[in-house]
Chain A
Amino acid sequence: MCELRKRGLATAVIVSDAFLRLGKTQARVFGVPDLPLLLIPHPLGGLSLEQVEGRAAHAIPQVLKLLKERAA
């Protein structure tokens, strides 16, 4: 993901909030501290299909915002 970002593509990593610090650290380690991290509520395991759709609903507006910013 970091490599794609370095190549100029619209890139983001979706992280659950409990893993935000790890995500930020990893982005820095791989040389792209500004890598967008799209936050969704923890957990990811043990979710029903409806809950998974709820997580997606959290992420989609953030993806759209990212793409619009890139286009602007």
Chain B
Amino acid sequence: MTNLAELLKTPGASLECEDDFDAVNELVRGRGWSDGLPVVPPTARRVEEMLAYCDRPWDEPVAKIAPRYGDATPLRLAANAVMAGCRPEYFPLLILVTEALCEEPFNLYGVQATTHLCAPLVIVNGPVAKELDINSGHNAFGPGWRANATIGRAIRLALVNIGGAIPALGDMSTFGAPSKYSYLAAENEAASPWEPLHVERGLPREASAVTVIGAECPHNVNDHESLTAEGILTTIAGTLIAVGANDIYYHQAQPLVVMGPEHAKTVADGGFSKADAKRFLHEHAQLPMRRFSNENIERRLRVTFKERLGAAGLDEPVPMVQRPESILIAVIGGAGKHSAVIHTFGATKPVTRALRLRDGRYAKSVADFRSQ
């Protein structure tokens, strides 16, 4: 694709350091180029191995990452992927996620710089999820899986090192969240009774895709007793209700409901399509206005939803999400009677983007990106 030795001669493209793990990490920490954990030294050899899975010029930005609006070139992304511990075949996914995050509806500036504790959540669909062995089962959002851990971490490092999401400087989150280290899982398509997320969002099943969501951490939904679709959905709807959620106040908000395979089966066996489940959730995830604080009623609900709530009585129901179709549903996880509710930053929209080759065709495999 490109000559790395030539590229590295560009001022600022590289720097020399003693060939020693501790020395490299000392330098990286000193420059603020880390998530706080030690990194794999991004040597020219390792970066070049990463770039072997790149089908575009290594110095041509694929996006600009807010809030610094730094150029996300494949070269820089590759250095971050190496630092995160990625295998080279993961690299096409890192480029794809970067592009998705920088699409306008996602509002990456807001997600990065807000005081809210959101982090970009990535859901991977399609054949590439299996090819890269991305965990979609037990502990899918947790540790123990190289692809989930390191691709997610590479995204974070790119957001910090290229985008400038530095605590109290470009990342103003009041608390942050553990999901800011890494937040990536695949959908458990094999265990889902419904069409996968990327198909629901308009892509063919054979496409591989990522969906990015400016999300909170998962909140568990325990239901070991309900035997019917309505029962399970009632419990999930009850967990969606949270008077402190950002999603309430934003017209475009799209929270995610992650159903464990066992809950999903019970719901589907009850004759519910995804659209039916969303209608039920929307209808039942509502709370009488009197359950909000007086100030939130007067200063926010009555103002934001002036037409509907401006003069409404205190028993008027307030929905947690504006429309049934705004709720996203994905099936993830292993055995167990659990689901999870994932609220969002609110001022963000999920973006789904397919893995395509430069000529526009859907990639069948990450091997399609190999340049040498």
Contact = CB atoms under 8 A, between A and B. Distances in A.
Do these two chains really belong together in a complex?
A: yes
Contacts of A25: 67-68, 164, 169-170
B212 to A, nearest CB: 22
A71 interface: no
B115 to A, nearest CB: 9
B170 A19 contact: no
Interface residues of B, number: 10
Contacts of B341: none
A29 B67 contact: yes
Contacts, number: 20
Interface string B157-169: 0000000100011
A7 interface: no
A21 B67 contact: no
B337 to A, nearest CB: 39
Interface string B166-183: 001110100000000000
A9 interface: no
Interface of A: 18-19, 21-22, 25-26, 29, 46
A28 B23 CA distance: 31
Contact of B69 (A18, A19, A22, A29): A29
B236 interface: no
Contact of A29 (B68, B172, B295): B68
Contacts of B164: 25, 29
B351 interface: no
A18 B169 CA distance: 10
B133 to A, nearest CB: 38
B113 interface: yes
Nearest to A45: B115
A25 B295 CA distance: 34
Interface of B: 67-69, 113, 164, 168-170, 172, 295
A56 to B, nearest CB: 18
A3 B164 CA distance: 22
Nearest to A46: B295
A46 B294 CA distance: 12
A13 B67 CA distance: 16
A34 B197 CA distance: 46
Contacts of A46: 295
A41 B169 CA distance: 17
A47 B164 CA distance: 30
Contacts of A18: 172
A55 to B, nearest CB: 16
Given A22-B113, A22-B170, 16 more contacts: A18-B172, A19-B172, A21-B169, A22-B67, A22-B169, A22-B172, A25-B67, A25-B68, A25-B164, A25-B169, A25-B170, A26-B67, A29-B68, A29-B69, A29-B164, A46-B295
Question: Could you say which of A19, A21, A22, A46 has the most chain B C-beta atoms within 10 Å of its C-beta?
Answer: A22
Nearest to B172: A22
Which 4 A-B pairs rank lowest in CB-CB distance, beginning with the nearest? A21-B169, A29-B69, A29-B68, A22-B172
Nearest to B68: A29
A22 B109 CA distance: 12
A21 B164 CA distance: 12
A22 B66 CA distance: 12
Contacts of B168: 21
Contacts of B172: 18-19, 22
A26 B68 CA distance: 7
A35 B158 CA distance: 28
Contacts of B170: 22, 25
